[in-house]
Each structure stands twice: as structure tokens, then as C-alpha cells.
Chain A
Amino acid sequence: MTAVLLPSGLEELWALWEQHPTAMPYAGGTDLLVRLRKGLAQAPALICLERLKELQCIEERGPELFLGALCTHQELLEHPLLRGRLPVLAQALAVLGSPPIRHMGTLGGNLATASPAGDTLPPLYVLGAEVELCSPAGVRRLSLTDFIRGPGQVTLGPREIVGGVWVAPPSDSVRQHFEKVGLRKALAIAVVSLAALIDLTPQGVVRGARLAWGSLGPTVVRSPRAEQALLGGRLRLPELRAAADIVADEAAPIDDLRATAAYRREVAGNLLLRLAQYGGG
């Protein structure tokens, strides 16, 4: 039997963790319990974070939004701030897992798992999100790229947890776009996904482009060259195709059971063509 500790606030968490230094924290358990069942992780004791109310808020704080790590995907998805200001993230959450998974799984869990296929990651990368980490020593902020060091590898000190995510919502001139390619409509791990923020002038000229792909490499893949290629042009097929070619050339994905590397590479580029819908003809 594994003991499960249930702190109801951060102070209690630190105290319990001190008494059970080898305990492993978890939130929705949708990743951890699968790993435990498969014998891929061992936990002498578990600390369930779900009662940490202070990390379950979604708030505007100054120019930024704070998204608590313990928010479930469903809570985030249903929040007007998220839908209104961060549609790229909302679109990703809408296709994450399935309804039961979205009601259990959390943002913090998705970040800490740092899967190459984590669906919140490409949106958070293009949004330039920062991760807030909490420990008995206090709170610190890291950029997402500093937080995620590799597949399943994150920067977390001893007895440190993810407290939440800080995001500055893009302005209204920015088109926000997310698409995931899976092998079915729910419970589908991304074969490849794309998050894009495209800032357009009133005339429809691209003046900013941020692109990020999931499942295309060990962590989220960016392509400054493809972003650069879009600048100054319009969202029309020839321009998008040129950027698509760059990505297809640069990417070095892997073969696995779900798809070959060649397919991923091609589709990673193809997904850019969908941006033509924002080009207005």
C-alpha cells in the first residue's frame, strides 16, 4: 500500500514533505498512475496536490495572466479569460486527451511531464510563457525553455513544485492557431502538432510570426528560419509553402508506431498551409 498525503495548503505541503522526503507529488495522476502501473516509476509515498487552492486560480495580474498549476484542463478551457485572450491554448486544451482526462489532468502535470507530445507546450512556447516554481525557499520564475530541458526532464529543485504559468496575452492583431494531428479524434497522442501566433498589419502583411511544433523532436521544435520566411509577406499559399519547405527540411523527427519520420516532417510543413485561412483570400 502506498500512503497518499493530502496537504490543504502550501505550508502543510512543505511540512509533510519534510517528514516524507521521498514522497512524490502528483496532481491529476493521469500521467503518474500510468507510469506506476507499468512499473516505470516507484513512489514510496504520494503527495496529492489537488487541494492546494492557492494554485487553482486563473487571474489577470497586471499585463499578464496567471494560470495556476493545479487547474485542470477543463477548468482552463471553460474560463472566459483563456478563451478570449489565449485561444491558441484553448484550442490545444480542447483536443487534449478526452473529457475524463481533461477533468483530471492539470496544467502543472502537463508541464512537469514534459512529453514531446504534451499538448499545452507548443502554445505556451509561442506565447513566451514563464513557469513559476514554488518551494519552501520561496518563488522563482523560469522561462519555459529553461524549465523544460529535454523529454521528461525539467528544472525542479528538491521539494519544488510548479506553481503556475505566467503569460502575456498577445494583442488583438495576432492570429492564434493550433492544430493537432492524431490517429483518432480523442485519446490521441499528437503525431505532430502546430501552434502559431501570426501578427498581421491591417493590410494583411505578416509583421510577427511565432511557430512551435509538438511531437517533431525530443522537445518542442521552433523554426526561426520559417518564422523569418513569413515576415513581410502575406498568408498565401506560395509564402506558406516556402516556410513549409524550410520546416520539412530542418525537422529531424523519429519513426515510431504511430507514424514515420517522413510523414511527420511533411505534415509539420503542411500544417502551415492551414494559416492561409487568416490571409483573407
Chain B
Amino acid sequence: MPGVEAVLTHAQVRGSNRQGVIRKDQPVLVDDKVRHCGDAVALVVARDQGTLAAALGLIELELEPLEPVLDMTRALEPDAPLVHEDHPTGNILLAGELVSGRGQAALADCAQVVELALELPRQEHAFLETEAGWAILTPEGTLEIVASTQTPFRDRTEVAEALGLELEQVRVSAPYLGGGFGGKDGVTVQSLLGLAALACPGRPVKMWWSREESFLAGVKRHPARLHYRLGAESDGRLRALDADLCYDTGPYDHLGGVVMTLGLEHAGGPYRIEHVRLRARAVYTNNPVSGPFRGFGVPQAAAALEQAMDLMAQRLGLDPIELRRRNLARRGQRVASGARLDCSHGLEECLQKLAGHQWWRGRGAWKAQAGPFKRRGVGVAAVMHGLGYGPVVPDVANAKIELTPQGKIRVYSGVADMGQGNASTCLQIAGQVLNQGLENMELVLPDTERTLPSGSASASRTTFTYGQALIAASGQLRRRLLERAADLLFVASATELALLPGRVRHSASGRELPLARLAALMQESERVAVGRHRAPVSQERPTADEALRLHGLPHAVFSFATQLAAVELDELTGQVELKGFVSVCDCGRLLNQQLAEQQMQGAMAQGLGYALCEDFAVAGGRVQTPDLSTYLLPTSLDAPDMDSLWVQAHEPSGPFGLKGVGEVGMDGPLPAISNAVADACGLRAQRFPLTPERVLAVLGRPWAAGGRP
């Protein structure tokens, strides 16, 4: 067909045709069987969109129908078809168990036991910018890929392997992303672009998924089924927990095992519980691919645990905040996962602040003022969230900084900025060390050729790890600049000099040396400094299971948060309106309060969608919510005023005492909202999101004296 440049299938893929981080099980183009509705089978390269659409319409696909695995229950049955025949544990991608004390047996001697079963929905990232990028095969034979990605360095390796190229032949760069939230933590368009570019040497190729394509083929938050039994003494001390978490990971690993492992690690939350049995599974199905999404398995775990905590508080007649406070594992103590907490820890103070907040103290009066057919409730949740990759996979960043020949400070950032603003924070950090303002600084965004490998923009580790590397690099450059300036100014020691914006000054004599002049007198190798940082790992060994350790368990450093939701329910319709939201967070020292607040507000908005309206529905393996008119994100009108408070527990291993803030705000909203709903009506739904229909079903007909016949 004229205008069609290439039609490609797996036959043209010269490499392994497999992508993935832990288990490489996802084809670039399907070569054995189609495993979900968004699998790519053929790739067409055309001159314009019209030709492309016409060409795609001409493709005839001959498929032999196979029996699909459409839910976790079926996947786990012994006679279920296998999603991957070669996987040693069948449809269980990964399973893990943590047992301490007498495990679930201890529930038998608890004064109180509460039980909870939950079903949580699949959530769509719905970033503003869908998966996109462009690529070109240069005359020198380099495949250059510019993509909206959180992981340029890892992508480079994956693309090279999948397409059969040498690593040096591939260059990936990641300019600012229009949102990621984990949905771009891994390959989306990259290998497809590479394949297309290889087929059309010297010509740029572009791929930009439509919203519908993004919904169809992009990864989602894992739907999950959880079952919790929590036991306590009558004085409110938690004693035993039996937790079972099941994650639908879809047909490919795509970090699903890591997501599940983080959920497992957080299954018992920030509490001391002597006897636990925590079990989690990530299960292969033929549903859409689940993968990383802000929170990474923890929102599911927190949804169950934090509701169980409220059930327990109610059972014991204890204040919900007080029950949480009493059971916190403090620094030096072990959390339920069995690992000792050694990082900075401000959760107790967070809970105290929340207990003193107007929304909590004034809740009685506020609830009493509910209008006709309205009920009001206030609920809380407390969470912790691990930072980084865990004990095995090196959580490393390499920073590079340069005094340019023009006398500017140029930061080479190796971690992508997907809108969270870490690029500004980088400049802030380097500017702080080198005493330079923005006007004297430049930034280079991640690029495997120009910047140094620094890992992913994910796991709440972006600024935490890269920031330390950058402080090291900046410190080195600072020393070098002052020493060279001391030589040039005939000053005895660099300590007599001050580094000022754009210049070096000899304080005693007032003599100054502009940075541009200094730069001109330095060689390139002197003007560049690099720094490396590897985040600390936990020495704890709560499990001997090496697979779990590889998948990230346990973590060394955690951020903490407690959140409050105030809701108003309508008895006639079941609608839940969020009236107030408070978060008190310990993510270490704040380097940029505005950016931290934006993270918290964004997480709360995403969390309120998760709790109340977002449900990426799939039936029979097909997407039922293919676009933004059927998949309902909360609008600005659905989000109430939010109050973000901070407890800044200085973390010595973080840059200037900082810990990550990207995810911790996502873990609490769903349980806080559900607890608020339960506070309002005394009942809980088992399935989420809490649509008006589900809420009305639990409410019954309180307004009808005795109910309608």
C-alpha cells in the first residue's frame, strides 16, 4: 500500500523479543500466543496517520481461540490453562510468606479478633501525556530513542536485548514527562519505536498512543483480593495478624512480583505485632497487564489493615488514633513484617498532630450538623512506605555536574522528571552546595549518552538517592573551584575564599574572580565532577527466601503518614462527598514545601478516585471502560480543600535529611475514606470503589421507618 513504509511482526525482531525487569516474559511483538487484549501483534509504519489507519484496517489476524484465564480464582485452580507454560510455578508469578511468633495460631488466644475481606479495583494511571516517543537510526548505526519514560537507563538494556543490539548502539533520553505515576516505569513504546526505526534507517519514526490505546495496552494498578484477621488484647495491644493478599498481575511480570513483595512487606503496616502470618501472591491472568503505580502494592495492603484497625478500635471502644499510637513500632523496634525500624520515624508525632487537628477535635459537632438525609463521618489511616529497591538490587545514583566554559553550573540529571519537579529540586540542591541561584544554573535531562546511570524515577527514591550523589558531586566541584581560585588569586588557602553567585571572592581583600574567568582557566576534566551514592540497605533478614529479597524485601528507610477524611453520605442516593482531607506526613526534611504539598495533594486526589469512582472494568478479558467518559477520574470539584501538615524527622541517609514523598500519600486515602463512611453509617462495603450503588446497598433504607416492605 502506498505510504506504508514497513509492516513488521515478531519475525523481524532479531533479539530475544522479550522485555521485563525480573522475569523477561513480555514480547515486543507476539510470537507464540496473544495473552491479553492489548498485546501488540504487528507494527505498521506509515507516512501519515490516515494511511496508517487504513493500513491497520487491512490486517487480517488468524487466531486459534484458547481458553483464557480471566480471574485469580480460576488461575489458581489445578486444571487452569497456563498463561506461561514455561513458568515453574504455573500461574503464580511469585508467592511469599512471612511468619513470626506463633503465626496465625495466636489468633486463638486473642481477646478480640476482627475479620475483613476486600476486593480492590484495577486503577488506570491516566497521565495527561499518554505513552509516546520517537526514534531514529542514525547513519552511524546508533538507535536514538526519545521517550516518555521513568527508566531511560533500564530501557536501554531492555531494548538492546529484545531487539538484538549492542548496548552501545542504543541511546535513550527522557525529556520532561507529562505524568508517569509508575505507568512509565518500564518499556511502553521504546522497543516498538526501535523496531520501526531499524526498519526505516535514517528516518525519524514516532509513536504516540491515543487515550484509547493507552487504556487498552498500558499497565494498571493491580486489582487485589485481601483477607485479614487481626487479633488484640483487651487493652488494645495488637497480638496476631493473619493476612492474605492476592494480586492480579495480568499476563506479564512487569514488576508485578516486586509490587506484590512490597505489599507483603507492608501487610502489617507500621505496627508491632508479635505473631503474624503474612501471605501474598501475584497471579498471572489474561487480563490487562498490571504493573507499577504510585504506592506499588502498598495501597492494597493498607486498605485492608487500616480498616481492620478501625474495626478493632470500635470493638474495643478505643479512639482510632489512640489504638494506632499504642501499637506503633518505634525506632529500634520490629514492625509486623519482622524487620527492625532504624530510620527516622515521625509517625507518633504525626498522629499527635492529627489528634489535635480541628477536623478531628471538632468532628462530633460537625457530624451532628448533618442536614436531612445526610450522614457524616470522619475516618483516619496511618501508613508507612519503604523507599528504594531493597537489599539486593543496587539502589545507586551517579550525578555529574559541570562548570561550563561560560561559567554556569550545569547539572546532569540521571533521573527523569515526570512532573513531580525533582529537576528543580536537583538545581536547588546543587545551588545550595555551590551557593548559586537559578540564573547561574543549567540542567541536562536524563540521556544515556550525556548523563550517568542513576536508576529509575520511582520507588520514592528519585531525590532520596540522586540527591545524595548530587551533593557529593557538587561538594567536589565546590572544593575544586575554590582551590583553583586560591591558586589563581595567590591566596594561601581556599578557606579564605567564598563561593558567591557567579564568582569567587577573597573576603579579606575584596578581590573577586568571576566563574566564567575561572572556567576559562580550567581544563574540561577539571570542570566536571561526579558523585556516586548507593542508598543504605537493611541488615534485617525477616525471611530466608532469596526470591523475596531479590524482589526488594525488606527496606531500610520509610516515610510515614497519617491521613484523615471527612465525608458526607446521602441516604437517598448513596453518594459520598468528601468534605475535608488532612494529611500529616513525615518524609524527613522538606527541601521544597510547595513541591511536597503538590505530591501530597496529587496523591490524595488519586486516592480519592481509587476509593470512590475509579474502576478500570474488564469483563471476559475485554476492557469495559475504554476511555475517559467511562473510566471516571475525580474532577477538581470532587476534591475538597486539603490540609497538608509535616513532621520533619531528619533522616541522616537522605539529602539534607530528606525522605521520599512520592508515594506515601497514596496509601491512606482509601482506608481513611472507607473508615469515614463506616463512621457515618456503621457499615462497610467489601468491594471498591465506593460507588453510590454500593454505599446505598450497605445503607439500606434508614429513612424508611422499618424499611419498605
Contact = CB atoms under 8 A, between A and B. Distances in A.
A88 interface: no
Contacts of B573: 181, 267, 270-271
B373 interface: yes
B693 A186 contact: no
B572 A185 contact: no
Contact of A185 (B617, B624, B637, B696): B637
A183 B624 CA distance: 16
B373 A273 contact: yes
Interface stretch (B256-264, B468-476, B628-636): B628-636
Contact of B708 (A184, A245, A263, A267): A245
Interface in A69-110: 98
Nearest to B708: A245
Contacts of B634: 184
A24 B704 CA distance: 51
A276 interface: yes
B65 interface: no
B617 A276 contact: no
A8 interface: no
B97 to A, nearest CB: 38
Interface in B678-701: 691-693, 696
Interface in A223-281: 237, 241, 245, 257, 259-260, 263, 266-267, 270-271, 273-274, 276-277
Contact of B693 (A184, A237, A260, A277): A260
Interface in B594-619: 613, 617
B637 A270 contact: no
Contacts of A43: none
B575 interface: yes
B371 to A, nearest CB: 9
Contacts of A271: 572-573
Contacts of A185: 577, 635, 637-638
Nearest to B630: A257
Interface in A173-203: 181, 183-189, 191
A267 B630 contact: no
B692 A184 contact: no
A181 B692 contact: yes
Contact of A276 (B372, B577, B691): B372
A267 B695 CA distance: 12
Contact of B635 (A98, A191, A259, A260): A98
B543 interface: no
A186 B703 CA distance: 27
Contacts of A189: 629
A257 B617 contact: yes
A257 to B, nearest CB: 6
B653 interface: no
A6 B636 CA distance: 35
Contacts of B572: 267, 270-271, 273-274
Contacts of B577: 185
B341 to A, nearest CB: 39
Given A183-B613, A185-B635, A267-B696, A274 B373 contact: yes
B625 interface: yes
A183 B611 CA distance: 12
Given A257-B624, A267-B573, A271-B572, A183 B692 contact: yes
Contacts of A241: 704, 708
A129 B708 CA distance: 35
Contacts, number: 61
Nearest to B625: A257
Interface in B352-409: 372-373
Contacts of B630: 257
A191 B693 CA distance: 10
Contacts of B629: 187, 189
A267 B692 CA distance: 10
B696 A263 contact: yes
A187 B638 CA distance: 11
Contact of A277 (B372, B575, B632, B708): B372
Interface in A8-59: none
A226 B696 CA distance: 23
B372 A184 contact: no
Contacts of B373: 273-274
Contacts of A259: 691-693
Contact of A184 (B635, B696, B704): B635
A189 B625 CA distance: 14
A188 to B, nearest CB: 8
Contacts of B692: 181, 183, 191, 259, 263, 267
A181 B571 CA distance: 12
Contact of A263 (B633, B638, B693, B703): B693
Nearest to B635: A186
Nearest to A274: B572
B456 to A, nearest CB: 32
B703 A184 contact: no
Contacts of A274: 373, 572
A184 B625 contact: no
Contacts of B625: 257
A276 B573 CA distance: 15
Interface in B542-596: 572-575, 577
Contacts of B693: 259-260, 263
The 3 closest A-B pairs by CB, nearest first: A270-B572, A185-B637, A263-B693
Interface of B: 372-373, 572-575, 577, 613, 617, 624-625, 629-630, 632-638, 691-693, 696, 703-704, 708
27 contacts: A183-B613, A183-B692, A184-B613, A184-B634, A184-B635, A185-B577, A185-B637, A185-B638, A186-B638, A241-B704, A241-B708, A245-B708, A257-B617, A259-B692, A260-B693, A263-B693, A266-B696, A267-B572, A267-B574, A267-B692, A267-B696, A270-B572, A270-B573, A271-B572, A273-B373, A274-B373, A277-B372
Interface of A: 98, 181, 183-189, 191, 237, 241, 245, 257, 259-260, 263, 266-267, 270-271, 273-274, 276-277
